[in-house]
Structure 1
Amino acid sequence: METNIPISKEEGNTQERSPIRYTINQIGGNWKSIILWSIKFKLNRFSLLLKELPISRKMLSKELKDLERNGIIKRTSYPEVPPRVEYSLTEKGKSLSPLLGLMNIWGEQNMNGETN
């Protein structure tokens, strides 16, 4: 049985303009969701993220810049020696918490016993 599910409420909407595509563009890829989940749980400094995640310095920097540019995280610099920078979720980023939580639950329920 096939069901036609609309991509969005807008008449004539294309996949490029779909809400799901927009969300994937904002938090998709290998790292953005994991970085957001980590920041939510107070791994909020570059060095902490780099230590905890199996990600290169260059990739982490790129992903943080993308998330900041998209208004999902905020970067705060403190005038200290040595310099300190912390990342936090914006309101837009906090609004992703339920989605990230559901992704985490889904993963817990479905990853056991699976191979790549």
Structure 2
Amino acid sequence: MQEGSVSFSGPTASLLTGLDMSHIRLCPAIAFNQIVGGRYKLHILCVLNRGPHRYGEIGRSLLKGGLGKPITPRILSRELKELEQRGLVDRKAYPVVPRKVEYSLTDRGRALLPILGEIIRWGATGAHEQILGIT
């Protein structure tokens, strides 16, 4: 087992889905949080849902809906690198001057879109703003 991972020793069937979980070592909810957790990863995936974007476009897009706080270049680079390492985002560098790099979703990243859609549907109710005390 990897350092920092959590063992899953729950029921053999998920109470939420009814699926057999006996072969799973790490709780899927904990794994999901480890994979896309952080302040900006889910938002980056939502931005890339609209198609390939350049680094600066992603940074500007994160201002909208993020309470207006700009992401620092260091953090944006780190988040994109982690998403790329996990196989959710593809980075394509073009051999031109000035340098041009585009980021896009991989098949694995696109597989998360239905989950993001459900999160956004839940958010459309305003429940998240009530929970966080944002009015």
Find the aligned partners of 1:46 and 1:58 in 2 and give their Cα distance.
12
Match of 1:50 among 40, 53, 59: 59
Structure 2: where are the runs of 5+ without partners? 1-13, 63-69
Partner-residue secondary structure (3-state), 1:100: helix
What is the TM-score with the length of structure 2 in the denominator? 0.72
Counting helix residues as a fraction of each chain, which structure ranks higher?
1
Match of 1:18 among 9, 17, 27: 27
Find the aligned partners of 2:77 and 2:35 in 1 and give their Cα distance.
16
Structure 1: where are the runs of 5+ without partners? none
Change (3 A) 1:6 1:112: closer
List per-residue Cα deviations over 1:67-113 (Å, max 9, x = no partner). 00000000000011111000111110010010111111111112355
The 5 A counterparts of 1:1-116 are 5=15, 9-11=20-22, 17-42=26-51, 44-53=53-62, 54-109=70-125, 110-113=127-130, 115=133
Say which is worse superposed, 23-32 or 85-94, in terms of deviation: 23-32
Find the aligned partners of 1:99 and 1:38 in 2 and give their Cα distance.
15
What is the TM-score with the length of structure 1 in the denominator? 0.83
Conserved? CA contact 1:43–1:49, under 8 Å: no
